[in-house]
C-alpha cells in the first residue's frame, strides 16, 4: 500500500509548531510544519482532482512575506502556496496516528500514518545558532571570536592614537 524511499528533512525550528498547552515536544499529541511550496509542484501531486486544484489556485494568488536565510531579507512569494503538514501521534482516537496536508483553503491529503510510525524525530539544532537548549559550533567558537575582536580593536586604537611608537630626539640614546 505504501511505497517510496525514506527522506530525511531538516526542519527549521521557526517552521515547526506544536499544541499550545503541551509542556514539551515529546508530550505534544500534534505537531505541524509550515513550508512554502511551488504551486506547480502541488498541482503535479494532486493530479486532475478539481476540488484540490481549486485550493491550490486560490492559495497561490495570496502573497506571503517569507524570510530568506540566504539573503537575510524578507521577500514576497510568487506562484507559491503555504503548505501545512499536521501529524497526530497515535492515541485513542487515532490508534495508528494520522496526518493532514493542507493549504490555507483545504485539505489536500490525509490518512493514517504509515505503519503507525510518527515521522518527526526531535534531535536538537546542532547546526543552527541561537538555540537555548542545544549547542552550536558558533557558541563553542565565541571565546576565540572575542579574542579576535579585542585584537582588531587594539590594532585600530594603535592606528588612531599612535601609542605603539616611541619617539626620540635625533642623536639621543634610548634608555
Query: How many Cβ atoms are within 10 Å of 52's Cβ, its own excluded?
Result: 20
| Size (the chain), residues | 175
The whole-number pLDDT of residue 141 equals: 59
Check residue 68 and give left, alpha or beta (phi > 0: left; psi -120 to 50: alpha). Answer: beta
Residue whose entry in the numeric block shows the C-alpha cell 547546526: 127
CB 59, CB 104: distance < 8 Å:
yes
The whole-number pLDDT of residue 10 equals: 79
The whole-number pLDDT of residue 111 equals: 92
Show pLDDT as tens, one digit a residue, over the chain (175 residues): 557 777 788 787 778 888 888 888 888 899 999 888 888 888 888 888 888 888 877 655 667 777 776 777 777 777 778 889 999 999 899 999 999 999 888 899 999 998 888 888 876 655 555 555 565 555 555 677 778 888 888 888 877 776 666 677 888 877 6
Greatest extent of the chain over all pairs of C-alpha atoms, in Å: 96
Residue whose entry in the numeric block shows the C-alpha cell 526542519: 11
CA dist 165 and 102 (Å) reads 69
CA dist 134 and 127 (Å) reads 10
Amino acid at each position: 500500500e505504501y511505497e517510496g524511499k525514506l527522506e530525511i528533512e531538516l526542519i527549521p525550528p521557526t517552521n515547526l509548531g506544536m499544541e499550545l498547552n503541551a509542556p514539551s515536544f515529546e508530550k505534544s499529541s500534534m505537531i505541524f510544519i509550515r513550508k512554502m511550496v511551488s504551486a506547480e509542484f502541488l498541482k503535479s501531486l494532486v493530479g486532475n482532482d478539481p476540488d484540490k486544484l481549486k485550493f491550490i489556485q486560490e492559495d497561490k494568488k495570496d502573497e506571503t512575506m517569507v524570510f530568506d536565510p540566504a539573503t537575510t531579507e524578507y521577500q514576497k512569494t510568487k506562484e507559491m502556496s503555504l503548505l501545512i503538514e499536521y501529524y497526530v501521534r497515535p492515541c485513542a482516537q487515532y490508534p495508528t496516528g494520522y496526518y493532514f496536508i493542507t493549504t490555507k483553503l483545504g485539505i489536500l491529503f490525509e490518512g493514517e500514518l504509515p505503519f503507525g510510525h510518527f515521522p518527526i524525530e526531535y534531535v536538537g539544532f546542532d547546526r543552527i545558532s541561537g538555540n537555548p537548549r542545544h549547542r552550536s559550533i558558533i557558541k563553542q567558537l565565541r571565546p576565540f571570536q572575542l579574542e579576535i575582536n579585542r585584537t582588531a580593536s587594539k590594532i585600530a586604537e594603535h592606528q588612531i592614537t599612535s601609542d605603539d611608537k616611541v619617539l626620540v630626539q635625533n642623536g639621543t640614546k634610548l634608555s
